[in-house]
Structure 1
Amino acid sequence: MNAVHPPGLYRHLDEMTPWDDRLQVLEVISVTDEAPQVKTFTFRSDAQAWFRYKPGQFITLELPKAGGPLLRTYTLSSSPSRPFSISVTVKAQAESIGSRWMFDYLKPGDRVKADGPSGEFSHHNHPAEKYLFISAGSGVTPMMSMLRWMHDCAPETDVAFINCARSPEDIIFRKELQLIGSRMPALSLAFLVEQRSNRETWSGLLGRINATRLQLLAPDFLEREIFCCGPAPFMRTVRAILEAAGFDMAHYHQESFCAPAVEEVPAPFSTTERTAPAAEAFLLRFSLSGVEASCPPGETVLQAARAAGVRIPSACEFGLCGTCKVKKSSGEVAMSHNGGILDEEIAEGFILACCSRPLTAIEIEA
């Protein structure tokens, strides 16, 4: 019997509007096992929109967990060259609440809210003649997004692709990568695993990335635009290898959802500062909630909103993911972000609540 599809399910791209970077609702259409404790969740737009983003960007999912929603940021593993759906590939660590919830409860037909896409980790921002992608574990996801785009749109691209994993069965996307490797003539594909497996024979390289293995797998790495993603110790190792080799670090890019290190410089001490009265707090008005609150100097809009009981969604809380983006109707703020908001959005009056500190009384649409 032929399946019956809802009317309007299949539409031409020019009949659909693009998914934008405002809050959206996504419907799960498939859940796929990729490796032990790794699944790919594929979504379509609840509003029948098509997806426009840069390969390597990320979204923030609002997971409807009992007791209150969880906000979690995931890199898109899909490619914008296939615009009718998007995918995130998630590794469930023992301590990860959000990923575990997705594994246990998220199934086809379910709907979740999402914000994005965001992020600057994309080869579209750094065009080059040759690339080197170095990843470990689930850090392969943005590399897969970029490589899938190249496979669809620029299959002659010169790419050296190095993926590191604990064991052969932990290599995410292994079969697809090998298939792409057979179809991209200038793709050099290499896997590096830490230990052999009892489940399958392994004749490839063993060990961890180091200067010798990098030179072996990508002899011309000094000439390539390099993208790196993986656990923090892994990325520190790669960076140290490149710096020791004299690589021009202006051509090195890494993806990380950890707050950047900030070097605090102690302010000069003076008697005047010691005896000066505390500065007055600024008045904040949250127009949609009908709430007024005060924000002490140095505090962020997000901190003031929480203290006043006004909910502004947030995830990374250091200006990267863009989840806490809100419209400022009036007033001035000092905002120091890490790429989570576009210049045109700032011109329209949007701010990131997590990294904006009032300079005057302000009004926020929240």
Structure 2
Amino acid sequence: MAYFSGYECNSATGSSVFFAATDAVTIVVEPADGTVLAYRPGQFLTFLFVFNGREVRRSYSFSSTPGIDRLPSVTVQRVPNGEVSRYLIDHLKVGDVVECLPPSGKFVLEDGKERTQVFVAAGSGMTPVFSLIQEALYKRSEENVVLITQNRDWDSILFRDRLRDMAGELPGRFRWMSLLSGSGSGSGASGLEGRVARLNNALLTELLDSMKIWGEDRGRRRPFFYLCGPPGFMRMAVFTLRLLGVADRDIKRENFVVEYVPPPPVLADTSPRAVVLRVEGADVQFATHWPSTILQSALDKGIALPYSCKGEGAGLVRRAVSAGGLG
């Protein structure tokens, strides 16, 4: 993949590209300089592109697992009219070199000796979950894994064949319940726990009870939950788990954030505001005003900031707020 030093951008070479499901590809990457990339299952890579003189960044989760897969890989699902996913799926070739930031992300496996690890994922949210499941099953022999997935149809399930093989290899440790929102399950679903349904509060409660994840001692050996999917799906899952008495400390979420500029309020204060950010130990000052965000204003002024998305949950903005006391 790429060798990283601090937040410098480095080159990564695509070594192979193959299909993971309908409208999705897995891209195997390796360092352009031959070094080894250190990353954890569940983390992501942020790629940098320049389209028509404009820098665009997109983050994609690792679908590979260190110690199991020889080379790192990320899986990309096509987004309608998505300029980056369309480029990666339709135009990226073996040997192409791209720039990227260091691996990042806190959606990693918790220490859970003898605890059941429960994963609830929808669509492309399966990408980091697959990486984590491989780690839990093949590198932590004492842990059991439960997976509940929501997809459109059988052909759209990411890593479908590998998941089915894993369920067959480890029937005592890995259970997979596949929910499909389409009218049919597809030709390959025989022998797999699944149904045509949409996951909701009642169904999630039913599935968790039927899969007997709670155990006799619900407090000492409580399960740990990992959630990844669209915002509405995530809100439903978190709300259900809280109603079931699951503590926030036992829930981990990976939020896929896309850039969104809200409509202007009725009365907007458009006067310029001074901003001071600490970047790599030095203070950077500039002005911003509505409707530009702090991040976008900095980028427009040529200030190189480390970011992986432009959503309101970006890690850089969180650090700036906590350090600078922005009100």
Structure-2 change in CA distance of 1:50 and 1:247 (3 Å) = same
Structure-2 change in CA distance of 1:318 and 1:297 (3 Å) = same
* Cα deviation digits, residues 169-204 of structure 1 (max 9, x gap): 111111111222233341112211112438526553
2:182 is equivalent to residue 200 of structure 1: no
Out of 133, 137, 147, which is 1:161 matched to? 147
Please tell me the residue identity of whatever aligns with 2:238.
Answer: R
Please tell me the residue identity of whatever aligns with 1:75.
Answer: S
Structure-2 change in CA distance of 1:125 and 1:304 (3 Å) = farther
Question: Partners in 2 of 1:249 and 1:321 — Cα distance?
Answer: 21
Structure-2 change in CA distance of 1:247 and 1:98 (3 Å) = same
Partner of 1:332: none
Partner of 2:45: 59
Partner of 1:247: 246
Question: Partners in 2 of 1:254 and 1:280 — Cα distance?
Answer: 33
Question: Partners in 2 of 1:148 and 1:159 — Cα distance?
Answer: 10
Structure-2 change in CA distance of 1:18 and 1:304 (3 Å) = closer
Mapped contact 1:61–1:115 kept (Cα < 8 A): yes
Q: Percent identity?
A: 25
Please tell me the residue identity of whatever aligns with 1:305.
Answer: A
Question: Partners in 2 of 1:234 and 1:200 — Cα distance?
Answer: 26
Out of 206, 214, 223, which is 1:220 matched to? 214
Mapped contact 2:122–2:228 kept (Cα < 8 A): yes
* Cα deviation digits, residues 254-279 of structure 1 (max 9, x gap): 100338xxxxxxxxxxxxxxxxxx99
2:251 is equivalent to residue 258 of structure 1: no
Please tell me the residue identity of whatever aligns with 1:187.
Answer: F
Secondary structure of 2:51's match? coil
Question: Partners in 2 of 1:321 and 1:280 — Cα distance?
Answer: 20
Mapped contact 1:52–1:83 kept (Cα < 8 A): no
2:161 is equivalent to residue 175 of structure 1: yes
Question: Partners in 2 of 1:257 and 1:37 — Cα distance?
Answer: 18
Question: Partners in 2 of 1:226 and 1:160 — Cα distance?
Answer: 9
Partner of 1:102: 88
Mapped contact 1:71–1:313 kept (Cα < 8 A): no
Matches within 5 A, 1:305-324: 305-312=298-305, 314-317=307-310
Question: Partners in 2 of 1:198 and 1:127 — Cα distance?
Answer: 35
Question: Partners in 2 of 1:173 and 1:83 — Cα distance?
Answer: 14
Mapped contact 1:300–1:356 kept (Cα < 8 A): no
Question: Partners in 2 of 1:305 and 1:168 — Cα distance?
Answer: 44
Partner of 1:68: 54
Question: Partners in 2 of 1:313 and 1:84 — Cα distance?
Answer: 28
What 5-or-longer segments of structure 1 have no aligned partner? 1-16, 260-277, 325-334, 338-351, 360-366
Aligned residues: 295
Matches within 5 A, 1:1-366: 22=7, 23-82=9-68, 84-124=70-110, 129-184=115-170, 185-197=172-184, 200=187, 202=189, 204-209=194-199, 210=203, 211-220=205-214, 223-258=222-257, 294-295=286-287, 302=295, 305-312=298-305, 314-317=307-310, 336-337=318-319
Structure-2 change in CA distance of 1:82 and 1:27 (3 Å) = farther
Secondary structure of 1:31's match? strand
Please tell me the residue identity of whatever aligns with 1:30.
Answer: S
* Cα deviation digits, residues 333-355 of structure 1 (max 9, x gap): xx733xxxxxxxxxxxxxx6x99
Mapped contact 1:131–1:225 kept (Cα < 8 A): yes
Root mean square deviation, CA, Å? 3.7
Please tell me the residue identity of whatever aligns with 1:336.
Answer: R
Structure-2 change in CA distance of 1:146 and 1:48 (3 Å) = same
What 5-or-longer segments of structure 2 have no aligned partner? 259-270
* Cα deviation digits, residues 309-352 of structure 1 (max 9, x gap): 44546442468666x7xxxxxxxxxx733xxxxxxxxxxxxxx6
